Amino acid sequence: MKICNFGSINIDHVYHVDHFVRPGETLSSTSYRLFPGGKGFNQSIALARAGADVHHAGMIGTDGRWLKERLSREGVGTDNIDVTENEPTGHAVIQVIPAGENAIFLYGGANHCVRENGIEAVLDRFNVGDCLLVQNEITQTETIIRTAKERGLFVVLNPAPMTEDVPDWPLDCIDMFIMNEIEGKTLAGTDDIDKIIPGLKKTFPEASLVLTLGERGVIYAGGSGKILSVPATEVTPVDTTGAGDTFIGFFLGSWLKGESAKEALENGCRAAALCIGRPGAADSIPTKHEVLQERSGATNDDT
């Protein structure tokens, strides 16, 4: 099964600071590094490192050709990445505090240059039963979702970052939602975390739901409605940037290969923990070998 990840590609500017900058404050950073990033880019890297057959679709500026080359070196298909001369590559400015938490603002750039007339050409390269993965950092996401569903693809949505228009998307076309607590509360229309899964199951009874809860683990509800909960893997955080994207890549890569939901969730949690223990986003994503080693170690500890 091929995966079309139609998503963002960013350049991440990461600053380590003592605390998040406050209004009117000028704050010196303790370090600065440049990383590849963007939710789409990170998830493609994670999928490739999990062993999935992933092909990235999206837009970059002329300053982002190195990002396309990086994806290619990682084993990601890049034939569906176009270059525009009218906008720079999207970028993010990321503050990271000593506890590992981050604050991010984005500039969409080339990610907002996706055009409707290019969507058909991309999806022509995929077949019924293949998977489409989308987030919310590019334009034309609604059209991409609808077109993919019409063509018989398995549609997975990570509604991040959550914006007020997402609930108006054709969400009845989604086969699997992968979301965090904030996104889940918005989609379910509730502030009660215990009502997220039941609320979404009532609205989307056939969809599978994956709700990530950070250090509290992850909850999964399949098409049958059976609930499965998996704890997070313990780790001392260095930088949480990219952890959610890493989870998605390893969970989805494992699940689409036929591993049980429990195994896929555990792989995702272990991969995210390894990511959190390192600086950066895409550069901190572990390999499949590292995740399997972590899995083997956890199994031995349980015996």
Q: Which residue ranges form the domains of the chain, and what is each CATH number?
A: 2-20+30-302 (3.40.1190.20)
Cα three-residue angle 159-71-92, rounded to 5 degrees = 50
165 an active-site residue?
Answer: no
User: Given 245, 283, 301, 302, which residue is catalytic?
Assistant: 245
Position 124 pLDDT exceeds 70: yes
Cα–Cα distance for residue pair 88/166, rounded to 1 Å = 25
- Mean pLDDT along residues 85-97: 94
Question: pLDDT of 26-69, one tens digit each?
Answer: 999 999 999 898 999 999 999 999 999 999 999 999 999 999 99
Question: pLDDT of 169-183, one tens digit each?
Answer: 999 999 999 999 999
User: Which pLDDT belongs to residue 90?
Assistant: 97
Contact 39, 156 (CB under 8 A): no
The share of the chain scoring above pLDDT 90, in percent, equals: 82
User: Which residues in the chain belong to E strands, given as ranges?
Assistant: 2-6, 10-16, 31-37, 53-61, 77-84, 90-96, 102-107, 131-134, 154-157, 176-180, 208-212, 218-221, 227-230
Cα–Cα distance for residue pair 166/143, rounded to 1 Å = 13
Average pLDDT, the chain: 93
